[in-house]
Amino acid sequence: MYDFVNGPFLWIAFTVLIFGSIWQIGSLVLRSRRTDKVFFDHAKPGWMFASIVNWLIPYGSRSWREHPGTTVLTFAFHFCLIFAPLFALGHVVTLAYNWGVDWPSVSDPVTDGLTIVFLIAAAGLLIRRLVKPEVRIVTGPADWLLWAITILPFLTGYLAAHKMLLTPDNMLMVHVLTGGIMLICLPFTRLAHAFLFFFGRAFIGSEFARRGTKTW
Amino acid sequence: MTDIKPVEPAKIREVLARNDTARLRLWLKACTSCAICADSCFFYLTNDKKPEYMPQYKVRKTLGELIKRKGEVDREFLEEAKEIAWGRCNMCRRCSQYCPFGIDMGVMIHIARQCLRTQDVCPDRLMTIDESYVKTGNQMEMTDDEFVETCEWMAEEGEDVIKGLEVPIDRENCRIMYTVNAREPKYYPQDIQMAAQVFQVAGESWTMPSHGWEATNLSMFSGNVEVAGMLAQTMYDAAKKLGAEKICITECGHAYRAAKYEGPYWTKQPNGQAPVPVTHAVAVFHEYMKSGKIKLRHKFKEPVTYQHPCNLSRNGDLAKLGVELLYMVAEDVRLMEPHDEYSHCCGGGGGFIPMGPDYKKLRMVSGKYKADQIKATGAKFVLAPCHNCTDQINDLNKEYDLGIKVISFKEILCELMVIPPHLQPDEEEAE
């Protein structure tokens, strides 16, 4: 089991992530050539860019500014979600050892910090979902499940690094397993907003641009 | 009841297939139910923040269900969806600006309306208006002859103010073909007279078509895109026939949006552009003031605020010009907060006003937001370059005792513009 998870399963997960995403994006782009004349007639690269960038900056859009608390949680959540795994010493060393590719890493205490901030932000978003009626009414089982799928790799990574709960090997296996599951789910669930975000913003930026209207 | 018509899912599926675009698929996939859209919506804010009024929920309960059930729904569902699609959303598209993914919930509600309309589920008044358009080409069921007579009568009466006032009909090769809201010739013919005065003083080369003069496009809001396209085409054809350089829309919001932005797609114009460029009274008046073709004796002195019509300032490109023009003609401008493209709907848009008395109560509740905004400015006048906003704010004025008066740019210009000597009526006539 341990060998399978750390070997073939991980390969499968990355393959599904990459090809699944290409397939999702490719099929949408092809469909859009056929069905979204309104976009291609009025595409304005400057506005697409502005509409993406301003939403990637904390408080860069009017909507972010009007929701200060949610903005902090969202940005903390996504920043740590991307940076903790990308620069975790364990990940970088594993890759360097297996593939010989290397990039800078951060020290373990920094990774710990990012992970803890991530978990706090995730808890905050969960509480928001539970407490605010307007969020609860549109929250279904899939939302809870995806939340769990997203935080589990971080929780297990932290536990593995600190040799807690299970034996280090077993916890590491659970960590890789949950991480792989998240990667597999990404192209096919709402997690796909990771890449759909850019296309959605590009479209709306352009669509409103022809009406002289900012979307940030 | 035995007279209930069976639902025809095939027709709903036809609409869904027509709208099955990559962007719709993306929107359906990307939404993370974050609910940030909730408090961008004045319906939500004015209905005690009931979660059922938040935009994503409204889309989910209408279009979402129609897609999920592939159109296999019953009459009960359709009636509920109708109350949401028309009674709880004006398609003002403010939520689209607040969504991190740019999900266009206004467009999605519009698709839902199209689905419902195929089952003859739609506020009755809007359906009747569709019929009026097909029968007579305008929402008020006026004949073209009546329209032309009204214009002649207004020209004649206006000679007291402007010597030789004309409302030219079917004049060829003018710079501007002016089109109006049928409400003007029917109930407020003075509006046409005032426009004529402004045009004449500015020395404009203009005309109105004897057929194709109706600018409003309420079928856009009933969900009947066939009729909406027919109306746009009629207007384009009239302009082409007369060889007009531009179509100028009266001070009306959805008429401008329909003619300039949506009409080209309904009528399948190449590149999504209207065959004859479309402009709006606000832009034309702005041009007159800027170039000095119209000069004022003095600026409007009373405190005035500006109602940004959604279809001009968010769904049209006139937010900045509208405010600039107001500053050019008025001394004491007090803008509402928020304003420009982030302005809130007056509560009368999206077909709400013509939906009639059945919906008035809902309209007054959701309009509370606008009423409070107006009150906060302390202005005594509200300038609304849109007929629907005008009607709604007049109603709000009574309902919430605002003590304000709604005015248009035409009214200010006509009251304050300098009439050149050659257009001043002879002394005896004036008396």
pLDDT in tens, B178-197: 999 999 999 999 999 999 99
pLDDT over threshold 90, residue B48 = yes
Of B26, B31, B98, the CB nearest to A199: B26
Looking up tokens 């309104």 gives: A38
Our CA-based measurement puts residue A72 at a distance from the nearest CA of chain B, in whole angstroms, of 13
Residues B199, B207: Cα–Cα separation, whole Å: 10
Considering only CA atoms, give the Rg of chain A: 20
Cβ(B308)–Cβ(B339) under 8 Å?
yes
**What rounded mean pLDDT belongs to chain B?**
96
Of A138, A196, A215, the CB nearest to B26: A196
Q: Alpha carbon of B359 to those of A166, B88, B362, B392, B398: distances in Å?
A: 63, 10, 5, 12, 16
Q: Which of A27, A51, A136, A137 to mutate to test the interface with B (most CBs of B within 10 A)?
A: A137
Residues B83, B94: Cα–Cα separation, whole Å: 20
Residues B18, B16: Cα–Cα separation, whole Å: 5
pLDDT over threshold 50, residue A108 = yes
Amino acid at B91: M
Q: Which of B23, B59, B110, B312 to mutate to test the interface with A (most CBs of A within 10 A)?
A: B23
CA B325, chain centre distance (Å): 19
- pLDDT 10s digits, B337-389: 999 999 999 999 999 999 999 999 999 999 999 999 999 999 999 999 999 99
Question: What pLDDT score does B1 carry?
Answer: 46
Residues in B 315-374 with any Cβ partner in A closer than 8 A: 315-320, 341-342
Question: What pLDDT score does A110 carry?
Answer: 96
The torsion defined by the Cα of B407, B408, B409 and B411, in degrees rounded to 10, comes to: -70
Structure tokens at B279: 């402009």
CB A32 to CB B39 under 8 A?
Answer: no
Considering only CA atoms, give the Rg of chain B: 22
Of B47, B21, B46, B48, which Cα lies nearest the Cα of B104? B21
Cβ(A29)–Cβ(A200) under 8 Å?
no
Residues A96, A88: Cα–Cα separation, whole Å: 12
Question: What pLDDT score does B429 carry?
Answer: 53
**What rounded mean pLDDT belongs to chain A?**
95
- Binned at pLDDT 50, 70 and 90, residue B3 comes out as low
Cβ(A181)–Cβ(A20) under 8 Å?
no
- Specify the 3-state DSSP secondary structure of B144: helix
Instruction: Strands of B83-242 (E only): list them.
Output: 176-179, 206-207
Question: What pLDDT score does A35 carry?
Answer: 95
| ipTM for the whole complex | 0.95
pLDDT over threshold 70, residue A111 = yes
> How many other C-beta atoms lie within 10 A of the C-beta of residue B168?
16
- pLDDT 10s digits, B380-413: 999 999 999 999 999 999 999 999 999 999 999 9
CB A63 to CB B40 under 8 A?
Answer: yes
A20 Rama sector, left if φ>0, alpha if ψ -120 to 50, beta otherwise? alpha
- Specify the 3-state DSSP secondary structure of B207: strand
- Binned at pLDDT 50, 70 and 90, residue B156 comes out as very high
Helices (H), B70-143: 75-85, 94-98, 105-117, 124-136
pLDDT over threshold 80, residue B4 = no
- Binned at pLDDT 50, 70 and 90, residue B218 comes out as very high
Phi first, then psi: give them for residue B405, nearest 5 degrees. -130, 135
Cross-sheet strand order for the sheet of B246-249: B206-207, B176-179, B246-249, B278-280
Amino acid at B354: P
Residues B259, B279: Cα–Cα separation, whole Å: 9
Of B261, B314, B342, the CB nearest to A62: B342
What percent of chain A has pLDDT above 70? 100
Our CA-based measurement puts residue A126 at a distance from the nearest CA of chain B, in whole angstroms, of 11
